[in-house]
Chain A
Amino acid sequence: MPDMSIRGFAGTINCPNPFWLASAPPTNCGEQIMRAFDAGWGGAVWKTIGEPVTNVSSRYSATDWNGQRIMGFNNIELISDRPVDVNLREMAEVKKRYPKHAVIASLMVASNRESWHDIVARSEDAGADGLELNFGCPHGMSERGMGSAVGQVPEYAQMITEWVKEKARTPVLVKLTPNISDIRTVARAAKRGGADGLSAINTINSITGIDLDTLTPRPNVDGKSSHGGYCGPAVKPIALNMVQQIMADPEAALPLSGIGGIGSWRDAAEFILLGCGTVQVCTAAMHYGYRIVEDMAEGLGNWMLTKGFNTIEDFRGLSIPRVTEWKHLNLNFKIVARINEQKCIGCDLCHIACWDGAHQCIHLDRVSGPVNGHVELHPIPAMREAESRSAVVETPVTRKEREAAVQGPYPTPLARIPRVDETECVGCNLCSLVCPVDECITMVRVDTGLPPETWDERTRGASCTTQTQS
């Protein structure tokens, strides 16, 4: 099995694997964290420690989708509501019993040097392997000048990072809020302030939904709700985007602990491919419990084996250079959709998606005779539906009638297998995305006979031409 251990993350943090529990309810106390380590987690960021708060009831809400629970998750819970000394006493206990696991103290205190110096010293005395500065919490704490109130102002973030660095002996990670127009500005500020690493992203401002009976948004606290922090599978693409932005920016890039919708080894692999050295998980653990880490570790290991990666460092960041600005994409690269007639089940979702949502080039004309060309040459989808609905159909009551169905060359009747007009297909991918059958619609490269050319190159060329002519 490949070596999954992490050595010297952000300087000196070691742990048996890159899977950490994020600062949240699953890391509320020592008892939980020790059970999590027993289950296989490599590290835990303690639920943010600070002056105890009072929480409300209720606190969470979720977005379900198509019958699946918790596509996205929202909370209005504050930092730890336990006394600082209780948290730190338990932290010392955990470190004593689990010396090889990473225990990170997430911190949030009033914005003055003394408070930060004090909490840093106490946390490190308790044995914390590193510190995570919570500049991201979007609700409750920001109204008191903490959390995202700091994280949204680069100068504050830099200043507090500097205060912490004056005192800290362990690595300092700054946790970034996504609720800002460009996450890199705060990442750069943290780096200027001397941070050893970053964690991203914190939750996204959200209202998950409204109860249509009571007209009250969720979660309902005595008839009112409040802006919460959104996380879970729904936010992963947003998180990946920000992670890539940070890691591709030399002024911002630091050892990064990736957060945002991670629930499987695939998600973890993607964050690591965009440069993360560790990953943090919360919603998935809240949904299914600590046990999910077993498949995360196993699955990542198996994937590393098939790919020939021996360590996390072997593939960390490999996908960063594969993200570029649009203007550097090859305009002469062309793909078209191909439908595998043997696999097609005849749902015709690709047909209607292409007609209503794309470029009108997937037709149901295999029986009537293929016609290539622009939209005007084809019957519109509504005509086909009207035709089907005006047909006189009878129940096949006799055996003979039931056996009369004509068997075509494919499992699906030929009339229902769509056909791609490759002369009009722009290679947008939509059909392959809506197709419910794996590998039924594939996007195939076609040779344009043209050398690679980007928009940047093409417009630069144009301006040269203009200059030459003038």
Chain B
Amino acid sequence: MSTATLPDDPKLRERFGDLKPALAPQAAVIEANRCLNCFDAPCTGACPTHIDVPGFIKRIASGNLRGSAMRILDANILGSSCSRVCPVDVLCEGACVMHRQNHKPIQIALLQRHAMDAFHHSGEPVPTAPARSRKLRVGCIGGGPASLACAAELCRQGAQATIIERRPLPGGLNTYGVAEYKLRAADSLREVEMIRRMGVEFRFGETIDSSAALDALEAEFDYFFLGLGLGAMQQLGIPGEDSQGVINALELIAAYKVGHIREMRGTVVVVGAGNTAIDAANAARRLGAETVYLLYRRGENDMSAFDFEYEHAKQEGVQFLWRRQPLAIRSNEHGRLLLDTVQMQQVDKKLLPIPDSQFTIDCDFVVPAIGQSPLAQLIQDLRGVEVRGGRIVANIATGETANPRYFAGGDCVNGGREVVDAVAGGKRAALAILKTAEATHA
């Protein structure tokens, strides 16, 4: 595993340059000095991983950058990617008391990135406890943020953790699913490499597709952490969805991040109005699409995307088609797509098509982005782990499932939240596994 598996594409770098440039060292100190150092700080409280925000910020101010990074990593081993991908407006920065002082919250994300960049630049490994004499072996299934956080915490405390991932690269959505202008795949892999150096083992391309495979794993590991994420993206369920030119949002994002798609031309219609839809629409613009529509069956006020993402999409030149539902996808003789849509209206609480409002959009790509489907296949086979509504039923504070050997966290439990939620879930589960193991084997 190394970053060498990703070709460095100068054009991609140019098109997907940092959304927010890093702080220069002195700018970071000036910003750090602005922090009031609140007691029981609201920013820390708002962070799912409870990073000691004033603690790491004041270490930047004092010039203790190593201590600052350690403070972040203590709480959140993916502090580096979280500093880039967290929706801080609704988390730490949203909670900053400065909103009520002068309306300028501390730039926590950029400060965190400053400390973490310095740490990665130093090449120093994360300190871990010596491996315990009795090796506790935990298999973490799925290679995304939840599993990474769980495995890292286990290793940090002397246990042995192995990540089992079906894809060729680790990092899950951090590597494959985050807009490149927020987090480069290479940076995600750099962070995973840091975790590998802590002693976490990785196995790639391994699919647990049979009862026998699971039997073998159960013989190998004492406990399991399920960080499975969510299933494939949901289908629109309309005729013509399998046409050439229809590519779902996560496939599109993964494809451009690993270099399979380098350019998009013409008109792109993204269907959906969540954060992933916006990432896909922005990506289409940056890849060269002249016209990008974001089509949503409800109105502006109903979209689930964060406000700042919506604003960003407008700045990228994405156009919005509200209250419009796709009906069918057809191809014309020039190989272009015809997306038949209808205008919707809210009647009482029902969303109904407006008669005779059909409208066809002539386009080159249709990008469904209406959410990920719940995991179905694998979990059904996991002995006694309860699944409800496509989510694993687990204690949110400990990750415990109905099977005492299985713990779970991240999207497969919470239904799809942020990287920082997955990290928090993974870490909480690691602590619970250690506690359970101690109680069982004491």
Q: Is the CB of A402 within 8 A of B90?
A: yes
Measured between alpha carbons, how far is A170 from B127 in the docked complex, in Å?
A: 73
Choose from A348, A384, A392, A399 the contact partner of B38 (Cβ within 8 Å).
A348
Contact flags B79-99 to A (C-beta < 8 A → 1, else 0): 000000011001100000110
**Which residues from chain B contact A397 at a C-beta distance below 8 Å?**
304, 416-418
Q: Are B396 and A392 in contact (CB under 8 A)?
A: yes
| Minimum CB–CB distance for A341 against chain B, Å | 12
Which 7 pairs between the two chains have the least Cβ-Cβ distance?
A67-B33, A352-B39, A348-B39, A345-B100, A347-B38, A345-B97, A395-B418
Q: How far is the CA of A348 from the CA of B40 in the complex (A)?
A: 8
Residues of chain A within 8 A (CB-CB) of B397 are: 392
B36 x A395 contact (CB < 8 A) = no
**Nearest CB on A from B54, distance (A):** 10
B7-43 interface bits toward A, Cβ cutoff 8 Å, 1 = contact, 0 = none: 0000000000000000000000110010011111010
Question: B47's closest neighbor in chain A, by CB?
Answer: A393
Given contacts A346-B42, A346-B97, A351-B39, contact A398 B304 (CB under 8 A): yes
Contacts of B414 on A, CB cut-off 8 Å? 394
Q: Chain A's nearest CB lies how many Å from the CB of B5?
A: 30
Q: Check if A395 sits within 8 Å of B33, measured CB to CB.
A: no
For B417, give its contact among A381, A384, A395, A436 (CB under 8 Å): A395
Q: List the A residue with the shortest CB-CB distance to B52.
A: A389
Q: A388-B45, A391-B50, A395-B87 given. 19 additional CB < 8 A pairs? A: A67-B29, A67-B30, A345-B97, A346-B97, A348-B39, A381-B40, A385-B39, A385-B40, A389-B45, A391-B45, A392-B396, A392-B397, A393-B48, A393-B50, A393-B424, A394-B421, A397-B304, A397-B417, A436-B36
Q: Binary interface profile of B, 97-125, with partner A (CB < 8 Å = 1, else 0)? A: 11011000000000000000000000000
Separation in Å of the A271 CB from the closest CB of chain B? 30
Q: Are B40 and A384 in contact (CB under 8 A)?
A: yes
Residues 137-178 of chain B: 1 if any A CB is under 8 Å from the residue's CB, otherwise 0? 000000000000000000000000000000000000000000
Contact B420 A395, beta carbon cutoff 8 Å: yes
Please determine whether B97 and A395 come into contact, CB atoms closer than 8 angstroms.
no
Q: Which B residues form the contact surface with A (CB < 8 A)?
A: 29-30, 33, 36-40, 42, 44-48, 50, 61, 86-87, 90-91, 97-98, 100-101, 302-304, 396-397, 414, 416-418, 420-421, 424, 428
CB proximity of A418 to chain B, nearest CB, Å: 9
Which interface residue of B42, B47, B397 has the most chain A CB atoms within 10 A? B42
Query: In the complex, what's the smallest C-beta–C-beta distance from B304 to chain A, in angstroms?
Result: 6
Whether A399 contacts B33 by the Cβ 8 Å rule is: no
Residues on the B chain within 8 Å of A351, using CB: 39
**Of all chain A residues, which has the CB nearest B302?**
A399
Evaluate contact between A66 and B33: CB separation under 8 angstroms.
yes
| Chain A residues with CB below 8 A from B428, complex form | 392
- Residues in A neighbouring B36, C-beta threshold 8 A: 347, 349, 436
CA distance A391 to B396 in the complex (A): 11
Q: When the two chains form their complex, are residues A388 and B304 in contact, meaning their CB atoms are under 8 A apart? A: no
Q: Can you name the residue of chain A whose Cβ is closest to the Cβ of B38?
A: A347
A352 partner residues in chain B, CB cutoff 8 A: 39
Of all chain B residues, which has the CB nearest A397? B417
Contacts known (A347-B36, A389-B50, A394-B421); A411 close to B100, Cβ less than 8 A: yes
* Inter-subunit contact A395/B61 (CB<8 Å): no
Q: Nearest chain-A residue to B89 (Cβ)?
A: A402
Contact at B44–A388, with CB atoms within 8 Å? Answer: yes
A346 nearest CB across to chain B (Å): 5
Query: Interface centre among A346, A349, A364, A391, by most B CB within 10 Å?
Result: A346
**In the assembled complex, A437 has its CB within 8 A of some CB on chain B:** yes
User: CB distance B46 to A393 under 8 Å?
Assistant: yes
Q: In the complex, what residue of chain B is closest to A400 when comparing beta carbons?
A: B304
* Whole-angstrom CA separation of A412 from B42 in the bound complex: 11
Query: By CB atoms of chain A within 10 A, which of B47, B100, B421 has the most?
Result: B100
A436, B101: Cβ atoms under 8 Å?
Answer: yes
What residues of B have a CB within 8 angstroms of the CB of A370 in the complex?
none
Q: Which residues of chain A (305-331) have a CB below 8 Å from chain B?
A: none
On whether the beta carbons of A349 and B38 are closer than 8 Å, the reply is yes
Chain A, Cβ-Cβ closest to B46: A393
Tell me whether A416 is interfacial, beta carbon within 8 Å: yes
Cα(A393)–Cα(B76), bound, Å: 14
Q: Which of A394, A398, A411 has the most CB of B within 10 A?
A: A394
Residue-by-residue, is A395-407 near B (CB-CB < 8 Å gives 1, otherwise 0)? 1111100100000
Which residues from B are CB-within-8-Å of A388? 40, 44-45, 50
CA distance A402 to B94 in the complex (A): 11
Write the nearest CB–CB distance from A417 to chain B, whole angstroms.
11
The one of B30, B101, B418 that contacts A345, using a Cβ cutoff of 8 Å: B101
Contact with B along A335-350 (1 / 0, CB 8 A): 0000000000111110
Task: Specify which chain A residues have a CB less than 8 angstroms from the CB of B424 in the assembled complex.
Answer: 392-393
Minimum CB–CB distance from B411 to chain A (whole Å) comes to 11
Q: Do residues B417 and A393 form an inter-chain contact, with CB atoms below 8 A?
A: no
| Residues in chain B near residue A384, CB distance under 8 A | 40
| Chain A residues positioned under 8 Å from B304 (CB to CB) | 397-399
Contact digits for A372-398, partner B, Cβ 8 Å, 1 yes 0 no: 000000000100110011011111111
Q: How far is the CB of B56 from chain A (nearest CB, A)?
A: 14
Q: Does A393 contact B61, Cβ atoms closer than 8 Å?
A: no
Which residues on B sit within 8 Å (CB–CB) of A416?
42
Residue of B nearest to A346 (CB): B97
CB pair B44–A389 under 8 Å, yes or no, is yes
